Structures are given as C-alpha cells and as structure tokens.
Structure 1
Amino acid sequence: MITVIPPCQQSSSEGPAACFTGSVRIDSHFQAEAPARVGGATVTFAPGARTGWHSHPLGQTLLVVAGVGVVQQWGEPAQTIRPGDLVWIPPNTKHWHGATSSASMIHIAIAEAIDGMAVEWMEQVSFEQYAHALRRPA
C-alpha cells in the first residue's frame, strides 16, 4: 500500500549535542522500513553549526538548498558549498559538514543503511579545525 505522510505528521528534531555543534534542526522526511535502505532528511544549520566527524558505510549525497556551508574530508582542504551544489561523499569517508560562521545552510541529506546502520559518528570537529576550515575553503 502506498503511504502518504502529511507535513504535520513528519518528524522534526534538534540535532543531538553528541553528534552536532550549535543549533541544528533535522526534518526526517523519509526513513523507510526494511527491506528499503535509503533514508533522508532536510538539515538546517544555524551560523556556526556543524556535524561531528562521521562516515557512512554506503556513502552520502547532500543537495544544498539554501545558505552557504562547508564540507571537509579528513586530511583534505575544506570546500565551500552553495545552493544547487550536489555533494557526493564516498563510502567510509571521514568527513563533516555545516554552516559558515556568518550564514545558515540547509541541505537535503540522503544515505543508505547496511545492516541497519547508515552513519558512524566520531569525535566533534574542534573549534580550531572549524576555524582553520573557514580560513581555507576551496
């Protein structure tokens, strides 16, 4: 049976402090039950907000819809992301993403789960790492 979920019944939550820094709202639009593996959400980052370092076993796609943000792979320079940018993060790639210090950023995040796991959270992005990324975005 096809399921239609009106916006008022879709879940919205605050990004947990264990995984995010700053004010982050997650609107989980689709999290299908098995055997489906794909899930996605619209994530809204206030200025200065960001994810912690993390990876996805099957990769992640980000579609930036508003604002200005940053994405960085471990050991690589940060990259600026803007509305319309499509970001592909390969499987098991340690990375973070979030807003710049002066602008909010909204993206749609899509990832597939394997054995029920779509993300592995790691340590927070330190203030020094974040500040350095903002000074040198590609």
Structure 2
Amino acid sequence: MDIHKYGSRPRTQAPAEYFTGEVWQDPVVTAPEPARLRALIVTFSAAARTAWHTHPLGQTLHVMSGEGRIALRGQAPRIISAGDTVWIPPHEEHWHGAAPDTEMVHMAMQEALDGSAAHWLEHVSDADYAIAPQE
C-alpha cells in the first residue's frame, strides 16, 4: 500500500506542447503494472484547454469546480459543470478545458495501454474553441 499525503508530490504546469493557456496538474495515481490506472486533478485557467487527443482505453472526467467545455471532432462543444461526469470512448478525438471566463477543475482518469494513456494531436484553434456550445 502507498499513501501519498496531500501536498507531498509536486504540482506541475502542463506542457505547452499539449495545452493552450495556464494549466496545472496534481497527481492522484499512476498505478504500477499490471494495473493501468492514471489519474490527475487538472486545473484550467479561463479559456485554457487541451490539444486534440485520444485515449487507447477511453477517459473519464469528473468536474470538481467551475465550468468547462468538451468537444468531439466535428461537433460543437458542450458545457460541463461542477458535479458532471463525462465518459469518452477509446480513440474518440476530443478536447476539454475551461469556459472563456472561468476556471475549471476536473479529475481525469484513464488507463494506459502499452505504457501510453493518451495520443496527442494538434492544438485546438481559437476558432474551434470559440464555437458556441450546444446545450
């Protein structure tokens, strides 16, 4: 058993290669094999977002605070808010991040396949981010 006391592991700024805007990541778990679970608490400043990406075994997001946006390739963004949980199926191209005027914090949970939990694609353009969300 491992117990990680709150604040004992460093918070890191998410890499600009995969994110737009100020984004911070706090580790929750990277389970040792044969387990595959990876989880982070991710804090997005207003308008910050991921690049387009996929997950080999899918991803679950649980919004802890604020309001955000999530979009699948070819679809308008959808609004996500505190308390919402989102399941993204394997290999579904998507992005997620904060709403234009507010921070959003979510827990991101995904499983690794052959050591990889995400496949990163290009950055989300400002035009794609600005598409009016569907309700």
Normalised TM-score (structure 2): 0.97
Question: Deviations for 1:8-63, whole angstroms, at most 9, x for unmatched residues?
Answer: 32231001000000000000110112111001010000001000000000000000
Structure 2 match to 1:11: 10
Rounded Cα–Cα distance in structure 1 between residues aligned with 2:105 and 2:7: 20
Report whether the alignment pairs 1:66 with 2:65: yes
Q: Contact 1:71–1:95 at 8 Å: present in 2 too?
A: yes
Aligned mates of 2:7, 2:64 — CA distance in 1: 21
Q: Counterpart of 1:56 in structure 2: which amino acid?
A: H
Deviation per residue, 1:61-111 (Å, 9 max, x gap): 000010000000001121100011010000000000000110100000000
What pairs up with 1:1-138 in 2 under 5 angstroms?
Answer: 2-132=1-131, 135-138=132-135
Distance 1:35 1:137 in 2: 40
Give the TM-score of the pair, scaled to structure 1.
0.95
Q: What is the SS of the residue equivalent to 2:43?
A: strand
SS at match of 2:7: helix
State the shift of 1:3 in Å: 1.2
CA contact (8 A) 1:29 1:42 kept: yes
Q: Which runs of 5+ in 1 are unaligned?
A: none
Q: Secondary structure, in 3 states, of the residue corresponding to 1:7?
A: coil
AA in 2 matched with 1:86: T
* C-alpha distance in 1 between matches for 2:133 and 2:84: 19
Stretches of structure 2 that go unaligned for 5 or more consecutive residues are none
Q: Percent identity?
A: 42
Q: Distance in 2 between matches of 1:6 and 1:107?
A: 20
Distance 1:136 1:6, change over 3 A: closer
3-state SS, counterpart of residue 8 of structure 1: coil
User: Displacement of 1:5 after TM fit?
Assistant: 1.1
The C-alpha deviation readout for 1:98-126, integer Å capped at 9, x for no partner, is 00110100000000001111000000000
Counterpart-to-counterpart distance in 2, 1:129 and 1:93: 17
Alpha-carbon separation, structure 2, partners of 1:115 and 1:32: 13
